[in-house]
Structure 1
Amino acid sequence: MEALAVDVVYFYPKENAQTHNTFKFEAVNEEGPKTTIVRRGQPFSGVVRFTRPYDVNNDLVQLVFTLGDKPTLDTQGAMFVKREVVADKHSWSARLTNLENDTLSFEVSTPVTTPVGSWTLRVVTRRKDSEAREIYDFEQDFYILFNPWNPDDLTYMEDTNLLQEYVLNDVGKVWVGPLKTTRGKPWFYGQFDAVVLPACMFMLDRAEMPFHQRGDPVKMARVISRIVNSNDDGGVLIGRWDGQYEDGTAPSEWTGSVDILQQYLESQAEVPYGQCWVFAGVVTTVCRALGIPSRVVSNFVSAHDANSSLTVDKYYTETMEELEFDPNNPEGADSIWNYHVWNDVWMTRPDLPPGYGGWQAIDATPQEASAGMYQCGPAPLEAIKQGVIGLNFDVEFMLSSVNADLMRWRISPESESRYSVVDTNSYHIGRMILTKKPFVFDPIGDADREDITNLYKHREGTASERIALLNGVRHSERAKRYYEVATNLQNDMKFKLRELDTVPIGKPFRIAVDIQNTSDQILPVTRRLLRPHLLQHGNSDGKRLPYGRLTGDGLGGSRLGGRNIKAVLSATSVFYNGVRADVVKKVEGKIFVGPGKKEQIGIQISADEYLPKLVEYCNMKISAMAIVDETKQSWADDDDFQVLRPSINIKFNEDLVIDEPTAAVLSFVNPLDKTLTGCEFRLTSSGVLGRTIRLAIDDVPARGLVSGQLPVQPSKLGNISFVATFKSKEIMDINGAATVEVLEG
């Protein structure tokens, strides 16, 4: 008798998907040949039908699963289907569960360390009394993923309820903007879209990640942080921050990850363009698709420490003009981003001492190389919080990002180091760290915002927070030198830059500095007037005074502790990564402040002055600097804010019914006193045919209604979410979201 010939193999994709938490993948549910998607370390069912009855005494059936084209012990599982099998979490096995004539049902168990990816299956049959074999190759896609529901998996999350958010939720928020006007930007992760898993496989192959390492979430997360950017190896996204996006898609236009991954897979080329929050959105999509719990994390205000000093250093000339470079680091200056976005991923860390598992930070936005490539993490949050910088990977870089001290230095020829400390600020960096709250999605508000600052650092100013930072300093010779130079400075003038809360686009704003003289010295002073029409000032009771007129009771001479101060105020449009775009207004002047007196200086900036110089996201920086003539005390401070734009309102004029076309009405009011041109809406949802719809609309007059109707056809029942963006030549980064229930027909 000949060996068994296979007629068909079937893996019950939908039934297995229910028990393996893969039921949301479109490829499991689509018409035609089904894709099987299971999780490692958990049995799954299959059936094979032969062309003749199975002879239990003489027929042998072997299943051979293989990952990659050069199988090894780690990337191949070969097993005979047997009635009696002792399941082992570290081994492959196949147990016969039912036999009916020519049909054999079985259950396969995979090792809990199985590399994730797209596996192939070969069924090999032969008779016990013969070496002749029959071979059948299963030609449908078969994926094995990480299993965070399994206590033996390195990605296991003890509170499995949270996996509904960190693995199965396909819509979220990314918090962006300056500290005082943070807003949640809706993002469609779409990890269950049919294109995502093939795109993930292409990414890992492009990164040349060895197949046998693809079962280690530590190595996998590090590779993902590298391959989502295009700096080293033809990764997914090209980063760009200069506002010039004509040959690609502006970062603010993206509504989610799927369009990006689809373009990457189809073109097999890098996609232009992304920024940190776009990188982070794609990382979460990839991680959740593969089964690694992931969330997007936003840090306000974020430091880039370019020279491993655990400080962010700003340098000024003797006359307090800010330098655009670091004279002590030719490779690049430190920088401060209004916000920076990266990811947390959840895993056990068997490569580290106990206590460093759980959330790990990875950053796919290229800032500097780690081990020769643009990758960052996974860095344990606990290590970052405690300042333990000797652990893998990149803990020192992340510690600086959230907890570096801001130090300002002034050129000082008489100083041994050539620089003197203007001031130090221990509170400026890492002011707030946000992520999306589990199980909540607020399309139009911030009810879904979760503050996780306490996971990254101790409360600012506490002994624990200082100890954590100094732990890092203690292990860095460069950092020690910087902190030894910085001393507590005693000065008799106090300055405070008044922070701006909100500025609606098209409205004026004012820069103001409060000055207080606490001196009781007797010094000869010569009173000098401010340059007319440049600075405004007021007296201690807050009463406004005319331009150029100073408080005081005399015109010079010896006065008790009087101080003459040179001040410079400026407003600049900036990109969110701290790079300056255009100076909107800069003025300087001198003011006299008597002993025990308070003054306020300020300048007004009109909409006509700043609107032509706004860059993407409408971020502004106000800066103030001062030097005291008598004591040479110097001071500087700055503040970032965002000119606020409207949100898109999404409405439907009728109930949404599955498979029935309708229209989504998108609208907002043009906030500018100018016509909007080159206008386009983009709407994305996983619950409608076509996924992403784009609509160009006519020019919109000044202060007019911006509106468009986009055709949609719901394809899923229940609640579905929509994410919308709008762009024009005059204003961009307008977005909105909505969640709507789709009903039965």
Structure 2
Amino acid sequence: MATDGKFASIGEKCQVDLQYAANNKAHRTIEISEKRLIIRRGQSFNISVIFKDGFNPETERMEVAVVTGPDPKVKEGSKTVIPFTEELNERRWSAVISSVSKNELCMTISSSPRAIVGRYSLSLQHDYKDISYLLGNFVLLFNPWCAGDEVYLSSDVQRKEYVLNETGTIYYGGSDYICERDWNFGQFEEDILDICLNLLDNAPKYLRKPRHQHLKRRFSVQVARTVSAMVNSAYDKGILQGRWSSPYTDGVYPGKWSGSIAILRQWQKSNFQPVRYGQCWVFAAVTCTVLRCLGIPTRVVTNFDSAHDTDGNLTIDNYFNVEGDDIGGSADSVWNFHVWNECWMVRNDLDPGYDGWQVVDATPQEESDDTFCCGPASVKAIKDGELEYNYDAPFVFAEVNAQRVNWLMFADGTKMKMDVDVLNVGHCVSTKKCGKDEREDITHLYKYPDGSTEEAEIFKKAKIVIAAPPPPKTLKVSLKVNQPIYIGQTVSVSLVISNKSSEEKVCTVNFWAKKRKYDGCVEKGTIKKFKKEITIPAVKDKSIPLELSYQDYGIFPDMYYGMRLITYVTDKSPENNVAAMKDIGLLNPALTIKMLNYHAYVGEKVHVEISFTNPFALPLKKCFMTIEGNGLVENQPRVKFDDVKPNALAKVVCDFTPKKPGQRKLLVDIDCDLVQNVKGSLRIEVQKKN
């Protein structure tokens, strides 16, 4: 008999060929393994059995049994006995005999498109005797290629992107300086599948009621919700511990991660102790790995100027003193950006029309049903203001729709409303474009155009009262910065004061620049202060140029090099006092990566050159480079290279030996004493040598 895979001896009666390679190729899991059976539900697979003592189908009436989970029961669907029939049934477990001989029984088995996802055992038994032959084990995954599966996705291009693509792009920075970084999801590394299944087994609800919770694994909504809770470590043995401020000395700074594989392996190796540390994009990237591995179409989404509304009033109040310090008074915040996931699935628990993309967020922000998780929340429900729908729709709605109100507090206790801007929350909602290395703006999926009648109706439904802007004033102030600006370079700011009145104005201008983290927190110290009395002619503008040099700003608290600029202009008539605030971010230098070989082959060394320009008027020292890439590089090698002279071009050459064919992506990370987490990538087509 021709075999596909190795024979496995089953007692003394028979041998089985589970046809690992052929079945896994058909089920699009061949990248995971050729040594065990990994299939997708609602799709058939083939196996064959050889009986050493011969087999007579007339007398040996047989049937197949599949079992999953603790304490399996037929009535609950965790144990299924499958008789052989004339043809397969697409709606339930079924089996047919494809061929039979004196010694060999070949069969085709099809699983239910609503079967429980997870580990199974497969056995062959007599339908009239208490005799059973254990044929082997397999793993059953969700199936976006099966129309009967609730995660079915009709587009092959989308399935390739949101299920099969092992790399992706995560967007960060600010709404007016959007940056990107590549991530190695690595969902098809063989051990990652077992780690993902262990994640489900370690969920607190599963540990308390394993049989009951195991049955819920047939539903993508429940699996996604469990993953959302278990990727963070709040209240459980989840994968990642969050941290948003230094020190990070007892773990890894979140910006250092470039892929999920090292994180998941460390969690498994440590007996499920949380990996230190993660922030929103790391939580989202690991969530994407787990859900894609289990077969749920998933993408990573970034919301710029993202509100965190702790009290549910859909208003984010920020209070500042006249020195520009954030003086608290509210637990609400607006992050430069926040990253979550969207999963594609049917929502049978909601009214019709709310299937499709669902928000799932693993960053621990607020509790949901006594657990730090969020979603799945229908994106369509968010746009329609249907906030009563499961799960956590009000929280996600606030992230893209809340109003931000800034207040300036004076020493005497009085306060001035700096601005009321309903346009400054929920900007440039971004994800990687399907099939392309480009950014796609999907803001329109979450909200109607700002100021539209549709938006007004949604706000009315959500009981949002749009705050009135301050009355018109004869003075106006704005802050203008030319971007992009690279770390190490001077930031040029234009402070523009406009006199709208018919009289000359004598004003006092105050300006502060402070360092700001991406989660909205501003450092107490000031980078630079400026105060000056100026005269502005009637109906004229006055522009004041300011500069912030590297000597002024120096080292930042995180990898986003964020600044908050605040100005306050006083007039002799206090009712004309005005203030403005602007957040900006500096960028790392860009990497240029090129392959020195003409072609890349499996098993042969590839040489690449990485180059970048030192943006500092100082030398870069203690320079290291780390490379990563699924199928390209093992163990993330770290390479030291020479110091880089001021404003000079640095070139580094490294090599690696690809292990797998296909389109791969090399990820590069560079650290020096003055600049860290400089990242870049190169797509490489790896071929098999003829």
Q: Does TM, scored on the shorter chain, surpass 0.5?
A: yes
Partner of 1:391: 389
**1:632 and 2:632 aligned:** no
**1:349 and 2:347 aligned:** yes
Going from structure 1 to structure 2, the CA distance change for 1:673 and 1:401 (only over 3 Å counts) comes to: same
Partner of 2:669: 725
Letter in 2 for 1:180: D
Partner of 2:248: 245
Tell me if structure 2 keeps the 8 A contact 1:253–1:727: no
CA distance in 2: counterparts of 1:387 and 1:590, whole angstroms: 48
Letter in 2 for 1:259: A
Letter in 2 for 1:496: S
- Unaligned runs of 5+ residues in structure 1 are 29-33, 442-447, 521-559
TM-superposed deviation, 1:435: 0.8
Question: Which digits, 9 at most, give the CA deviation of each residue in 1:484-520, with x for residues without a partner?
Answer: 6x46533332222224422122221233322222235
Letter in 1 for 2:655: P
CA distance in 1: counterparts of 2:98 and 2:633, whole angstroms: 40
Partner of 2:3: none
Tell me if structure 1 keeps the 8 A contact 2:72–2:79: no
Partner of 1:273: 277
Going from structure 1 to structure 2, the CA distance change for 1:4 and 1:372 (only over 3 Å counts) comes to: closer
Partner of 1:498: 480
CA distance in 2: counterparts of 1:451 and 1:720, whole angstroms: 25
Partner of 1:225: 228
Partner of 1:580: 522
TM-superposed deviation, 1:86: 5.9
Partner of 1:510: 492
Question: Which digits, 9 at most, give the CA deviation of each residue in 1:77-98, with x for residues without a partner?
Answer: 3324424356251x32222221
Partner of 1:191: 187
SS in 2 for 1:644: coil
Partner of 1:532: none
CA distance in 1: counterparts of 2:688 and 2:59, whole angstroms: 53
Partner of 2:31: 24
TM-superposed deviation, 1:452: 0.9
Tell me if structure 2 keeps the 8 A contact 1:276–1:342: yes
Partner of 2:104: 103
Letter in 2 for 1:376: C
**1:10 and 2:8 aligned:** no
CA distance in 2: counterparts of 1:75 and 1:674, whole angstroms: 67
Alignment of 1:47-58 (within 5 A): 47-58=48-59
Letter in 2 for 1:21: R
Going from structure 1 to structure 2, the CA distance change for 1:744 and 1:111 (only over 3 Å counts) comes to: closer
Question: Which digits, 9 at most, give the CA deviation of each residue in 1:581-623, with x for residues without a partner?
Answer: 4421123344444543322334322221112456423222222
TM-superposed deviation, 1:171: 1.4
CA distance in 2: counterparts of 1:634 and 1:322, whole angstroms: 18
Letter in 1 for 2:292: R
CA distance in 1: counterparts of 2:191 and 2:88, whole angstroms: 37
Going from structure 1 to structure 2, the CA distance change for 1:156 and 1:606 (only over 3 Å counts) comes to: same
TM-score (norm 2): 0.90
Partner of 1:686: 630
Letter in 2 for 1:266: K
Q: Which residue among 286, 289, 304 is the counterpart of 1:282? A: 286
TM-superposed deviation, 1:136: 3.4
Partner of 2:453: 463
CA distance in 2: counterparts of 1:658 and 1:92, whole angstroms: 40
Tell me if structure 2 keeps the 8 A contact 1:4–1:52: no
Question: Which digits, 9 at most, give the CA deviation of each residue in 1:277-304, with x for residues without a partner?
Answer: 1111111111111111111111122111
Larger Rg: 1
TM-superposed deviation, 1:211: 0.9
CA distance in 2: counterparts of 1:696 and 1:138, whole angstroms: 51
Going from structure 1 to structure 2, the CA distance change for 1:216 and 1:674 (only over 3 Å counts) comes to: same
CA distance in 2: counterparts of 1:76 and 1:614, whole angstroms: 51
Letter in 2 for 1:686: N
CA distance in 2: counterparts of 1:580 and 1:108, whole angstroms: 60
TM-superposed deviation, 1:4: 9.8
CA distance in 2: counterparts of 1:680 and 1:272, whole angstroms: 22
More displaced stretch, 429-438 vs 710-719: 710-719
Partner of 1:537: none
Tell me if structure 2 keeps the 8 A contact 1:563–1:594: yes
Tell me if structure 1 keeps the 8 A contact 2:625–2:639: yes
Alignment of 1:387-536 (within 5 A): 387-410=385-408, 421-441=417-437, 448-472=438-462, 474=463, 483=466, 486=468, 489-519=471-501
Alignment of 1:588-599 (within 5 A): 588-599=531-542
CA distance in 2: counterparts of 1:649 and 1:323, whole angstroms: 39
Aligned residues: 669
Partner of 1:144: 140
TM-superposed deviation, 1:38: 1.0
SS in 2 for 1:498: strand
**1:646 and 2:646 aligned:** no
Tell me if structure 2 keeps the 8 A contact 1:68–1:75: no
Partner of 1:157: 153
CA distance in 1: counterparts of 2:581 and 2:193, whole angstroms: 45
**1:92 and 2:74 aligned:** no
Letter in 1 for 2:176: K
Letter in 2 for 1:729: D
TM-superposed deviation, 1:226: 1.3
Tell me if structure 1 keeps the 8 A contact 2:377–2:393: yes
Tell me if structure 2 keeps the 8 A contact 1:74–1:115: no
Going from structure 1 to structure 2, the CA distance change for 1:86 and 1:19 (only over 3 Å counts) comes to: closer
Going from structure 1 to structure 2, the CA distance change for 1:629 and 1:396 (only over 3 Å counts) comes to: farther
- Unaligned runs of 5+ residues in structure 2 are 1-9, 207-212
Tell me if structure 2 keeps the 8 A contact 1:564–1:630: no
Tell me if structure 2 keeps the 8 A contact 1:5–1:125: no
Going from structure 1 to structure 2, the CA distance change for 1:635 and 1:67 (only over 3 Å counts) comes to: farther
CA distance in 1: counterparts of 2:284 and 2:546, whole angstroms: 38
TM-superposed deviation, 1:694: 2.4
Q: Which residue among 696, 707, 712 is the counterpart of 2:656? A: 712
Partner of 1:663: 607
Going from structure 1 to structure 2, the CA distance change for 1:419 and 1:391 (only over 3 Å counts) comes to: farther
More displaced stretch, 91-100 vs 186-195: 91-100
**1:258 and 2:252 aligned:** no
Going from structure 1 to structure 2, the CA distance change for 1:290 and 1:305 (only over 3 Å counts) comes to: same
CA distance in 1: counterparts of 2:273 and 2:568, whole angstroms: 47
Question: Which digits, 9 at most, give the CA deviation of each residue in 1:100-140, with x for residues without a partner?
Answer: 112211121222111211222233347x4xx4x44433455
Question: Which digits, 9 at most, give the CA deviation of each residue in 1:7-26, with x for residues without a partner?
Answer: 2222222222233232332x
SS in 1 for 2:513: strand
TM-superposed deviation, 1:5: 5.4
TM-score (norm 1): 0.84
Going from structure 1 to structure 2, the CA distance change for 1:612 and 1:19 (only over 3 Å counts) comes to: closer
Tell me if structure 2 keeps the 8 A contact 1:253–1:726: no
Partner of 2:305: 301
TM-superposed deviation, 1:36: 1.0
Going from structure 1 to structure 2, the CA distance change for 1:700 and 1:229 (only over 3 Å counts) comes to: same
Tell me if structure 2 keeps the 8 A contact 1:683–1:693: yes
Partner of 1:607: 550
Going from structure 1 to structure 2, the CA distance change for 1:735 and 1:88 (only over 3 Å counts) comes to: closer
Q: Which residue among 544, 549, 567 is the counterpart of 2:509? A: 567
Tell me if structure 2 keeps the 8 A contact 1:302–1:402: yes
Tell me if structure 2 keeps the 8 A contact 1:295–1:345: yes
Question: Which digits, 9 at most, give the CA deviation of each residue in 1:172-214, with x for residues without a partner?
Answer: 1111112222122111111111121111011111114411111
CA distance in 2: counterparts of 1:640 and 1:501, whole angstroms: 12
Letter in 2 for 1:680: F
**1:234 and 2:232 aligned:** no
SS in 1 for 2:139: strand
TM-superposed deviation, 1:653: 2.5
More displaced stretch, 671-680 vs 725-734: 671-680
Partner of 1:124: 125
SS in 1 for 2:674: coil
